[in-house]
Amino acid sequence: MGITRRRFLGYAAGAATVGLRGRPLDLWRLGRSVGTSRSCVLLDLKAHGCLSDSVSGYESVLTSAGVRWMRAEARSVSPARGAVLIVPAALEIPPAAVQAIVSYLQAGATVILESGAGFAAGREFRVHRVELRDYLRVRVEAPVQLWSAHTSSQGIPYVDYSWPHSAKVRDFSRVVPLGPQAGDVIAWVDGLPVALKRHGGRGTLVFLGSPLGPALWAGDAEARRWLFDCLGEAGGCAEPAIS
């Protein structure tokens, strides 16, 4: 690993507990000069991410909305480049990605970390769980298959978000539920907590146990609104120019 657990905990312990605030949303709209290069960075995990449609979802929505964003590999990510780091469909989280996440949090940015482990099993999932626990202090439970318990009479197991605003987003068949831990649970599905918001360093970590990217890719308007409100809360990238 490029970063030790001790070093990460050192970062976290020494950091302020409030996230980055205050960048006016309208400064981030399309066509406005904001006098800064900070924008949204999509972390490209390549072989380590397992849901290409999630990556495509974020890419298509950020592009169509005119948000300033860039796709970057973990090794080349610098916190100065962005107010928000999005990590789509992470499965194995390589050391360079952990380092990027931690450095973003340290710099006061928001990190949206999406688990892509819903379909993982055995060793793949164990590694994912250990990495989340040891390096990011996010505790997750084994994936849950939502549809095995859902017949047509029980309806669709939508993911209900409560932050930054209430939103109902289509499920992705399997979720990685949260274990008991510090932070605010911001989404539930079928009584399972599946998304978390927590201050880390000077920034904010938003962990999604149900991937949002595929819903973005499929054109789910509520998923788009949720993402842009989330970006707006982070003080970056803000609202879509095209909805």
Partner 1 sequence: MKKAIGDNMILKEWGLDKGLELVKQAGFDGIELWLGDVPWFQMSTTDSEVGELRRKVDNAGLVVSNVSTGLHWASPLSARDPKVRALAVRIVEREIETAVLLGTDAILLVAGLVTAEVPYNEVYQRCLEALRPLGEKAARAGVRIGCENCNAEHRFLISPREFWQFLNDVNSPAVGIHLDVGNIHDTGFAEQWIEIHGPRITRIHVKDVMKKRGRCGDQSVYTNLFLGDNNWPAIRGALTKVGYDGWLVAEMEARYRYAPDLQFHDTAQAMDRLISGRL
Half-sphere exposure for 138 (CA within 13 Å, toward CB): 33
Q: Does 170 bind partner 1 (CB under 8 A)?
A: yes
Which is closer to partner 1, CB of 49 or CB of 82?
Answer: 49
> What is the C-alpha separation between 13 and 186, in angstroms, rounded?
23
Q: Does 243 bind partner 1 (CB under 8 A)?
A: no
Instruction: Decide if 53 contacts 94 (C-beta within 8 A).
Output: no
The separation between CA 152 and the C-alpha centre of its own chain, rounded to angstroms, equals 30
> What is the C-alpha separation between 212 and 55, in angstroms, rounded?
10
Taking the complex as a whole, the smallest distance from the CB of residue 146 to partner 1 amounts, in Å, to 8
Which is closer to partner 1, CB of 24 or CB of 147?
Answer: 147
Taking the complex as a whole, the smallest distance from the CB of residue 144 to partner 1 amounts, in Å, to 14
> What is the C-alpha separation between 187 and 207, in angstroms, rounded?
10
Angle formed by the axes of helices 52-64 and 221-233, nearest 10°? 70
Which is closer to partner 1, CB of 45 or CB of 51?
Answer: 51
Which is closer to partner 1, CB of 47 or CB of 182?
Answer: 47
- Is it true that the peptide bond before 164 is cis, omega within 30 degrees of 0? yes
Considering only residues 186 to 215 of the shown chain, the ones binding partner 1 according to CB under 8 A are 214
x/- mask, partner 1, residues 135-164, rule CB under 8 A, reads ------------x----x---x--------
x/- mask, partner 1, residues 21-50, rule CB under 8 A, reads -----------------------------x
User: In one letter, which amino acid is 212?
Assistant: L
Q: Does 218 bind partner 1 (CB under 8 A)?
A: yes
Range 84-111 burial, b when 16+ CB lie within 10 A, else e: bbbbbbbbbbbebbbbbbbbbbbbbbbb
Q: Does 119 bind partner 1 (CB under 8 A)?
A: yes
Q: Cα Rg for the chain, rounded, in angstroms?
A: 17
Taking the complex as a whole, the smallest distance from the CB of residue 95 to partner 1 amounts, in Å, to 23
Q: Does 125 bind partner 1 (CB under 8 A)?
A: no
Binding residues (CB under 8 A) for partner 1: these are 50-53, 56, 119, 147, 152, 156, 170, 172-174, 214, 217-220
